[in-house]
Structure 1
């Protein structure tokens, strides 16, 4: 009805107004203010997408953007108020492997590589017979974890296990879990989001083990301090799924890991302590790019600057720092990772896919021996640990015997979870 009141010559100006409203909405949506997400799904590259209204957040930090910027047809077929549920079909034996499914009211949209599949959207009842409309949440569950390749659907108190192969539906009762407003599988764990909180659950039984619910922003988003009780940052930083900014270890077995405004200090096998970067390294404030330890000093790189502290209780900021990275290390910043192998005098600095060597005994210091790391596009953090090299990529870490082994490796070795290294026990 309202459209009839707009003359053809007004359509262009109306489009401008709508665009301005959308931009404004993207600016005002702030995941750190506490949002109940409508749906969560991990894309084919392992990046979580958090949906809110007609916007989505990609990854663990960054601003909201319109959902139809990545999945254009969602708005073409529906006035996109919000996505009810979403998941990625990740079963290699399925013809729909790596397809992403979005549920809106009574329709389901199937995308492959961000392109809508032919003849979509379809009725939910056609693609997933026995599954109701207007869902609350959905999550994939492979055979290794659910007995059969399945999708778990949530609507109110009702839980539906949908067998992908036979299309049989098995009703479940999850007594210990709250109603999910969204759910997703990440690093082989299952998470039910309810409001601003989440609980980790067993997909077969719905059992919730451990101290839940927990605040979603503590573990799935890079946000400054906001929880009611944050006298202790340790558990949050040990178990957060947000990727590390930097990590470093000294010869005494101390490990320092940095993420956003916080860091964790692991004192060998004795204790683990979490704190804010600003409290321990007040001149730095927060968010480092790379860190390495050399000669009982910790070198912390942020942007184009290098901060140096003498390790101790407290850490002592050296006079004259920060210095430009080109002056201190002979390389233009920012960089992604850095490390020193044991008692070596060479700092290895990684920038993109390139690794350089810096002789710390030289004057002036110069970045030399440039070589390419072919098996990754970006290293988030790196350190010398337990006699070898550890690199961190996203939520996983990989071990190599030496920097030369990293450069020569044809494929990534066995992956391990970063949370395991940091002592997360759940």
Structure 2
């Protein structure tokens, strides 16, 4: 079943109040299992269903290739963030065939787009064995020894979580055992061992929308996947954020924003295909539909930014965020690290005065189109110094945000957008295209 996550457009007051917290999900909350039952050998080990709301410690958490999230405890699992437990061997029957108690030590979804034969496969770790599944089917040749598939990684793990390039330095997997963390480079199969003494011993780990969560007991702690740093007040009770439990959830009263109420301030896609939309002091990922949607404070991912941004665009490996008469440049590959010396005046960086209304850069181009009122400025980013190459009037007033991809240019005005084949047609077009509505499928709003 597909999990339905809390709308990214939950009221901003709630979202800002939770700016240092994990995402609050509407329809994806969980209930913790009671106690892990052990049973004499030879007896049927399938007893009463555990309850996630009673405060248990999960054995493993992982999404599948469709974005459904599985939570494991003993011989049971939960599909998604709400609903009752069911026997894990109903979905992954081979786990029970090989390990009769069905206990999963760790699990993660592989991110390795350079090798599509393993990308999006789910890996389960049981004692000294690893299982690879795709579409709930065990891959031929599995299980194998952990050392055969992941050399340098110990058996009897506590947790595992994928870490794509850009969030980690390379496409990696983080393995947890006691207070030791093994960072495994998927391409080179090299391992770096770390000790994050300040982080609790993770019994399961979960990556959701570029955020990393260590689950311990019935609590969780959000951490940085490279440094292990913990930002904000943790631990927090998982029942308040990752599951629907009576008396615990505080997101139930928040209402989803209607699509007719959406107004974007900026939108962009980086060179890795990650799409971000900015609204007021919040942002959301647009390219991760299978994992759900959620609004997060902009300052969580882009340090030093507070309040509303005016325009955003990507050039090379950098993201440019324009706010007032200042421009901030972040290194995307370094998990959005602000480049030393920034922010700088917009006049010094791009040769124009702020504020601006929108900016966009088409794929494989080095001309950024900056919209200010009913004028569009073409600025050559490859030139030194950067300056306005061309100034042209545009027929559309009050543009809120602009975006350009392989399909052309889209300019957003309130809850609608207009599509153009290229920037030239945007400038020269005499007839306004038919407006298209911001969709619930893309933005998670309600019609």
Report the TM-score when normalising by structure 1.
0.51
* Counterpart residue number, 2:298: none
* Counterpart residue number, 2:103: 82
* Counterpart residue number, 1:73: 94
Q: Which runs of 5+ in 1 are unaligned?
A: 1-16, 228-232, 239-243, 254-268, 270-384, 391-402, 419-426
Displacement of 1:69 in angstroms is: 0.9
Displacement of 1:149 in angstroms is: 0.7
In 2 relative to 1, CA 129–389 (structure 1 residues): closer, same or farther, beyond 3 Å? same
- Determine if contact 1:181/1:194 at 8 Å carries over to the other structure: yes
Distance 1:389 1:182 in 2: 42
* Counterpart residue number, 1:378: none
Report the TM-score when normalising by structure 2.
0.49
2:89 match: secondary structure: helix
2:95 match: secondary structure: helix
Displacement of 1:249 in angstroms is: 9.1
1:176 aligned residue (165, 173, 198) = 198
The 5-angstrom pairing of residues 40-51 of structure 1 reads 40-51=61-72
Displacement of 1:131 in angstroms is: 0.5
Displacement of 1:237 in angstroms is: 6.3
1:32 match: secondary structure: coil
Displacement of 1:247 in angstroms is: 4.3
| Structure with the bigger percentage of helix | 1
2:185 aligned residue (152, 163, 175) = 163
Select the structure with the greater relative contact order (CA < 8 A; seq sep ≥ 6): 2
**Residue 388 (str. 1) matches residue 409 (str. 2):** no
1:131 aligned residue (153, 167, 175) = 153
- Determine if contact 1:109/1:121 at 8 Å carries over to the other structure: yes
The 5-angstrom pairing of residues 260-275 of structure 1 reads none
Displacement of 1:185 in angstroms is: 0.6
**Residue 405 (str. 1) matches residue 426 (str. 2):** no
In 2 relative to 1, CA 404–221 (structure 1 residues): closer, same or farther, beyond 3 Å? farther
What is the RMSD computed on CA atoms of the aligned residues? 3.7
* Counterpart residue number, 1:104: 126
2:53 match: secondary structure: helix
Q: Which runs of 5+ in 2 are unaligned?
A: 1-42, 264-279, 281-411, 418-433
Distance 2:204 2:414 in 1: 43
- Determine if contact 1:175/1:206 at 8 Å carries over to the other structure: no
**Residue 25 (str. 1) matches residue 48 (str. 2):** yes
- Determine if contact 1:36/1:196 at 8 Å carries over to the other structure: yes
Distance 1:49 1:138 in 2: 14
Displacement of 1:387 in angstroms is: 3.7
Q: Deviations over 1:44-79 (max 9, x none)?
A: 121211001011011110000111111111111221
Displacement of 1:173 in angstroms is: 2.1
1:178 match: secondary structure: coil
1:140 aligned residue (151, 158, 162) = 162
